[in-house]
Amino acid sequence: MRRLLVVAAIIASCSDPLHGDRVDALGPEASGVRPGPTHRPGQPCLTCHGGDGPGGTEFAVAGTVYQTPDVGSPPAVNATVTIIDAPALGGSLDGTHTITTVTNSAGNFYLAKSQYSPVFPLRVEVTTDGLAEPTRMSTHIGRDGSCGSCHFDPKGPKSPGHVYLVADPADLPGAKP
């Protein structure tokens, strides 16, 4: 029994209480939404899927894209997210390491570590059919592949707001003038 308690104490001491607090701060799942690819839009995905758990799949990059910057904007469904990482040698953002993925019905996208192992910094752009130009992030991503770590609502001194496809709803493909 004593050995069991020692082993349990060692295991407990290996956990990160700050990470546990970050997971707890996300709150419960939304009512009626099961854990999976469409859950928790807009939240920092790598909090749970960054290797420390409790998410089952470890993500390299993940986030949510909305149609516009307005709080309450609908998700950008089937938007293409292009991620350009710095080449291992040289460190320039010249597009030599580019990967794309597509948002799902919640506007979520993710690339598992098994699919993609980026070299930071990253550059990101989003687009969809019917847009003349992709929307490009104006700064680079230095170290955290979880969009929701920086991009959350409301927009303010601590956040540029959520990731969005177009600034003006009139610019959305199919929008009526």
Return the pLDDT at 1. Answer: 59
Q: What pLDDT does 6 receive?
A: 44
Contact (Cβ atoms closer than 8 angstroms) between residue 142 and residue 85? no
What are the CA-CA distances from residue 21 to residues 49, 55, 148, 169 (Å)?
Answer: 15, 15, 17, 37
How many Å apart are CA 126 and CA 120, to the nearest integer?
Answer: 18
Query: Tell me, what's the pLDDT at 96?
Result: 65
CB 115 within 8 A of CB 138: no
CA distances from 94 to 87, 147, 168 (A): 8, 21, 29
Read off the pLDDT band of 175 (50, 70, 90): confident
Residue ranges and CATH numbers for the domains of the chain are 38-168 (2.60.40.10)
Encode pLDDT of 103-124 as tens digits. 999 999 999 999 988 888 899 9
pLDDT, position 10: 41
What pLDDT is recorded for position 5?
46
3-state secondary structure of 40: coil
pLDDT of 148 over the 90 cut: yes
Is the per-residue pLDDT at 140 higher than 60? yes
Outline where the chain has alpha helix (H). 2-14, 17-25, 46-49
Count Cβ atoms within 10 A of the Cβ of residue 174 and give its class: 0-12 exposed, 13-18 middle, 19 or more buried: exposed
Residue 107 Ramachandran class (φ > 0 left, ψ -120 to 50 alpha, else beta): left
pLDDT digits (tens, 9 = 90+) for 53-106: 788 899 999 999 999 999 999 999 999 999 998 875 566 666 668 899 999 999
